[in-house]
Amino acid sequence: MVLEVIVMVVGFFRILYGNHKVTKAQKKIRRKVGRKLLLPKNTTNTEVKSKVLHVVRYMELAQGGAGPIILPEQSLASEKAGLAVSKKGLTLKELLQQTSHHNAKVCRDALIGIRDIFSNHPAELKLHRLTVIEKLGERMSDDDKIVRETLYQLLNAVVFLACKEDNQGIIKL
């Protein structure tokens, strides 16, 4: 019994004064404040790097041309070529998607962009009338008052007038 107590006391003193061996699992790594943590060895690098290809017409440069010419396939503007765009450069499809956005300012800006497209390109309204009315109908019960007012102005000033003009020839009695 006395021997067990002595072994226990000696073991206790070894722990207190650091004479015992510490395994890897017990060792705590102390990090200094402000230092970045080291990345684990099994992480995957997810950085994406891209480069733009500039094709230069050497004959134009030799004759004093303006500079490098970028091919149209490299530009995002080539995707929107021939489509009606708003002042911000958004197509009708993109604006209709933005009308469902949770942010009221984004939704209001999308409605203003749609009004801009229809006032500059009236043929777009005739082509996409049913889709536009269906998508805008979802916004009638919007929580935000500004969105509802902008929607009312769009429908009253542009959409309903165009629908009324189209139906004049059909409904004559």
- % the chain with pLDDT above 90: 10
Predicted confidence (pLDDT) per residue in 107-142, tens digit: 999 999 999 998 888 888 888 888 888 888 888 888
Q: Greatest CA span in the chain, whole angstroms?
A: 118
Burial of 104 (0-12, 13-18, 19+ CB in 10 A): middle
Mean pLDDT of 13-42: 72
- % the chain with pLDDT above 70: 68
Report field, pTM of the whole predicted structure over 0.95: no
Provide the pLDDT for residue 111. 92
> Residue 23: is its pLDDT beyond 80?
no
Angle at 37 between CA 34 and CA 43, to 5 degrees: 155
